[in-house]
Amino acid sequence: MSNQSAGNTKQSNLCRLIYKSDTSWDKLTNESLVELASGSAENNRKSNLSGLLILSGETFLQVLEGPSVAVNALYARIITDPRHSRLRLLSFESITSRQFSEWSMHIVDLYDLPLHHRELLTIKYPMKDDCIEIPDVAELALSLLLDAKAICISETKSEPDGE
């Protein structure tokens, strides 16, 4: 799922969009999440987009980075996707460099993280129904996304084959 082409190259109109939305396990299976991840990664690579999607309980938090035209076009598609509802746009801002260039799209379910990582997150972010509560405040949402990114990267580095 990594995307080498979506690097930190300076581009005009580069932007970052963050939204949160609700889903339900009736609408998702593990297989459909895997398909969503691979289909999104492929689409995003073609559009020079990068990002990360967090699932916590039945809430999504997604960050998308790339040319603003491509980010807006994708968001317009995502809004109509029946797999989630009640989308709340948390931020849309112009950026000079990407924070999530590692992946064209990567999905992380916070519930599946190893306990020591989950415990670190629970110190920092409130819990609700045994799940980390996705913040409504843009700065905190970005902070959670950056923490999740750091965890994903450290997990990858600790894999036995070093991949």
Ligand X SMILES: Cc1cc2nc3c(=O)[nH]c(=O)nc-3n(C[C@H](O)[C@H](O)[C@H](O)COP(=O)(O)O)c2cc1C
For ligand X (CB under 6 A), the number of binding residues is: 16
Query: In the set 63, 71, 78, 142, which binds ligand X (CB under 6 A)?
Result: 78
Which listed residue (52, 63, 105, 110) binds ligand X by CB under 6 A?
105
Q: Where are the alpha helices (DSSP H) in 47-137?
A: 68-79, 115-124
The reply to whether 145 sits near ligand X by the rule CB under 6 A is no
- Tell me how far, at minimum, the Cβ of 105 lies from ligand X, in Å: 5
Q: Which is nearer to ligand X, 122 or 133 (CB)?
A: 133
Whole-angstrom Cα distance, residue 67 to residue 113?
Answer: 31
**Across the beta sheet with 59-67, what order do the strands follow?**
85-94, 14-22, 59-67, 50-56, 107-109
62 binds ligand X (CB under 6 A): yes
Q: Are 3 and 45 in contact (CB under 8 A)?
A: yes
Q: Can you tell me the distance from the alpha carbon of 150 to that of 119, in angstroms, rounded to the nearest whole number?
A: 14
Query: Looking at 3, 40, 56, 59, which residue binds ligand X (CB under 6 A)?
Result: 40
- Using CB under 6 A as the binding rule, whether residue 74 contacts ligand X is answered as yes
- Backbone phi, psi, residue 78, to 5°: -60, -40
By CB under 6 A, name the binding residues for ligand X: 36, 39-40, 43-44, 51, 53, 60, 62, 74, 77-78, 81, 83-84, 105
